Structure 1
Amino acid sequence: MCDTLSWQVANKSALRWTAHHTGHGGKKYFMSADEGFDGTYQTNVVVRNNGSCLYVPPGIFKSTCKIDITWFPFDDQHCDMKFGSWTYDGNQLDLVLKDEAGGDLSDFITNGEWYLIGMPGKKNTITYACCPEPYVDVTFTIMIRRRTLYYFFNLIVPCVLISSMALLGFTLPPDSGEKLTLGVTILLSLTVFLNLVAETLPQVSDAIPLLGTYFNCIMFMVASSVVLTVVVLNYHHRTADIHEMPQWIKTVFLQWLPWILRMSRPGKKITRKTIMMTNRMRELELKERSSKSLLANVLDIDDDFRHVPPPPNSTASTGNLGPGCSIFRTDFRRSFVRPSTMEDVGGGLGSHHRELHLILRELQFITARMKKADEEAELISDWKFAAMVVDRFCLFVFTLFTIIATVAVLLSAPHIIVQ
């Protein structure tokens, strides 16, 4: 009967043990084939003169262990292989480690996907609740590390390139007509790429891999860029006939946000001082209305007719337009009252008065159209500049988001490149 067993795991988990006989039965003990040994290869037992037996059978152990993919593809896996006897307790069979470092790795064949860190072993003596005798087992921990070079250049680098193309979409002018098409194309390409990546990821449902979290962040960024591109195009193509710019948009997208982003308009320098002056002038314009040009005076004549009564025996005179137009304006105020009917025009005014009145009406109409066209052009320009500000803001925000997400993933990984 054997009372001591010494063994080590070498290439393909070959088992080496030495049995010391204490009886005279001359019995041989072999592990059966269903315990992991290949029975097709017959191996002799070497018996020495001191009674020791050396039996080295070929064996291939197939073990499965739970894989933690939290840090995939920068993960390390630790798989335990426990060897012991359920038949003989520690008093009858003692397992002794040949080397404190664990298994013999001298004949290990290098794997293309995994790097073997080590295989330390530990001897355990456990007393179970069922039996008073101690039982001895040896546990080998196989420590392997995934090689990340393949995953880094085939998964992470293409994802970063696709996300950078989404950032370039914010620099494309809205008038090109390809701004939204570029964003949707990038989103579709990233979706197809993620489908290929999903086939590479281990099928484990109780954990989300680090690479999957990174891809979800990039996917969210690209989808958000498409949504914001729609907003930019909406702002860019707005007109004065359909939309009126709210005051908060003027304050945020035309003043403070361009100042923060260091943006400026042609002929308009946006600084903190100009913003405060513009707001102050807007408050003053709401309290006081002033006319500073001939066109504005012409527009105000109609209002003057309603409030200034015609003096008796007044005659129309154009006066001398030498220094300015004050005589022309004063005579109109004194000579004309807005007629109510054509009969009043015919009866109260002469032919020259009617002609001057028609000229005045035409000047008012033309001036109103010119002023309206200027206001519409200025409003359209404001909407386009607001769209440009949103584009620039999204470019900075998403660039910063992509850099932070990439750096955070790489720094949180236990290791980056394992060749």
Structure 2
Amino acid sequence: MYNSADEDIDSKFPTNVVVYSSGLCNWIPPGIYISSCKINIRWFPFDDQLCTMKFGSWTYDGSKINLTLLGTAGNTGEGDISTYQPSGEWDLIGVTAIRNIEKYECCPEPYIDITFTVHIRRRVLYYAFNLIIPCALLSSMALLTFSLPPDSGEKISLGVTILLSLTVFLMIVAETMPATSDAVPLIGIYFACIMMVCSLSVVFTVLVLNYHHRNPETHNMPKAVRVIICKWLAWMLRMERPGHDITIRKIVHDARIAKLKEVELRQKSSRSLLANVLDLDDDLCKIDRMDRMNSVPNYASIKIEENGTHIGYTPLANSPTGGHCLHKSELNAILRELKVMNRKTKENDKYTSEANDWKFAARVIDRLCIWIFSIFTLGSTLGIFLSAPNLFS
């Protein structure tokens, strides 16, 4: 055998040669032949391999030894695989034989050889259950990273754990393949895509956590982020906040009148606060006049809501200020206190609102990443494996 890979090339079981009276010699030596075969791992593990075994004589040319194919008169034929024992790793598709006549530069005589081509196909069941399906499950778990609440504190840990698991599977794949750089195997491309998805999921998880833990003390939400993420993307992804109805008309309307509404609210708040205090002064003066007419107990204790609205009075028998209207300095002090309370309430509401806006933006990015990574993972999986020529055979 020309392409023998056996160290002891002549170590065949010794058998006798049968010589007929016509001069025909029949020698059938049994043996195990080890040949070299170039492996193409481009479609691993859905690959077919073609291995050749070339038999001929190094010593005798074609005029002394004539090699022919049994059962055919031509130069091509089929190998007999009726006694083939099935393998758990490969399927034997067929064996073809070709009779070749070659001339070399060293010798004028032709040399005859017979080349057998063995067509084998790798069985995929082992690799599917031990590599492909676990990798697909890990890739689906990577998508769950975006469904995990940011307050749990385990989003980064889950993503890194999945990435390390894929690295272990990639090492197993590297051990099962021959060390060659002729082509990148199909399963290697798939693992690279899944690892890229998991790596990007960790990156976007960091972004989500960054947005989730922002507050007005450290970051002001840009207008572009508020409009694009909190409104447009939230509307596209069908995400709603309690008490916030998001529609296209409302988004456009809010964008146009946001500044005017803010100015109007400031003016209205200041006017209403001052009016409440002035009304309070008038009411107290009226009560003082009624006290002097009816000789009823003075009203000195006033009950006021947080928004400055006058509710009522609590009668006190011995009020030191009874019978007199509140002075202007006292009204100014009340006005200042109400302004401070009003400002603190607005600041707290604004702080809570902006913090909730950052958290909602983080939720929107999470939902967007789920859709993008799901589509990319499913598309890359189908695109890679459907490109294999022997996927369903």
- Shorter-chain TM-score category? 0.7 to 0.9
Q: What does 1:292-331 align with in structure 2 at a 5 Å threshold?
A: 295-297=269-271, 318-319=281-282
Tell me the residue number matched to 2:38: 66
Give the Cα–Cα distance (whole angstroms) in 2 for the partners of residues 218 and 113 of structure 1: 26
Matched residue SS, 2:166 = helix
Give the match for residue 252 of structure 1: 228
Select which of 407, 411, 415 maps to 2:382: 407
**Offset at 1:51?**
2.6
C-alpha spacing 1:300/1:316, structure 2 compared with 1 (3 Å): closer
Gaps of 5+ in 1: 1-12, 14-32, 302-314, 322-349
Q: Does 1:358 align with 2:330?
A: no
- Residue 76 (structure 1) aligns with: 48
- Runs (4+) of structure 1 moved beyond 6 Å? none
Matching residue of 1:143? 119
Q: Name the aligned partner's letter for residue 87 of structure 1.
A: T
Task: Give the secondary structure class of the aligned counterpart of 2:78.
Answer: coil
Q: Report if aligned partners of 1:36, 1:59 keep a CA contact under 8 Å in 2.
A: no
1:266 aligns with 2:242: yes
Q: Which SS does the other structure have where 2:187 is aligned?
A: helix
CA RMSD of aligned residues (A): 2.8
- The answer as to whether partners of 1:149 and 1:417 remain within 8 angstroms in 2 is no
Partner of 1:89: 61
Per-residue deviation, residues 328-363 of structure 1 (Å, max 9, x unmatched):
xxxxxxxxxxxxxxxxxxxxxx98111111111111
1:116 and 2:88 aligned: no
Q: Give the Cα–Cα distance (whole angstroms) in 2 for the partners of residues 407 and 263 of structure 1.
A: 29
Question: Structure 1 pair 300/147, CA: closer, same or farther in 2 (3 Å)?
Answer: farther
- 1:190 maps onto 2:175 in alignment: no
Structure 2, unmatched stretches of 5+, are 285-324
Distance 1:91 1:277 in 2: 98
TM-score (ref. length: structure 1): 0.75
Q: Distance in 1 between matches of 2:10 and 2:260?
A: 94
User: Which residue of structure 2 lines up, in the alignment, with residue 49 of structure 1?
Assistant: 21
Tell whether the 8 Å contact from 2:77 to 2:98 is kept in structure 1 after alignment.
no
SS at match of 1:120: strand
SS in 1 for 2:327: helix
Residues 78-112 of structure 1: CA distance to partner in whole angstroms, max 9, x if unpaired? Answer: 11111222333333332211144432212222211
Cα offsets for 1:119-142 (capped at 9, x unmatched): 101112223344433322211111
> 1:144, 1:91 → 2: CA distance?
35
Shift of 1:382: 0.7
Instruction: Tell me if the contact between 2:235 and 2:246 (Cα under 8 Å) persists in the aligned partners.
Output: yes
Using structure 2 for the length normalisation, give the TM-score: 0.80
Distance in 2 between the 1:131 and 1:50 partners? 30
Residues 194-225 of structure 1: per-residue CA shift (max 9 Å, x gap): 33333223222332111111111111111111
Q: 1:37 offset after TM fit, Å?
A: 4.6
How big is the shift at 1:166? Answer: 1.1
The aligned counterpart of 2:298 is none
Q: Give me the whole-angstrom Cα distance separating, in 1, the residues matched to 2:274 and 2:56.
A: 106
Q: Does 1:290 align with 2:240?
A: no
Secondary structure of the 2:390 match is coil
> Partner residue of 1:223?
199
CA distance in 1, matches of 2:257, 2:77: 82
What percentage of residue pairs aligned between the two structures are identical? 51
State the alpha-carbon separation in 2 of the partners of residues 355 and 231 from structure 1: 52
CA contact (8 A) 2:43 2:186 kept: yes
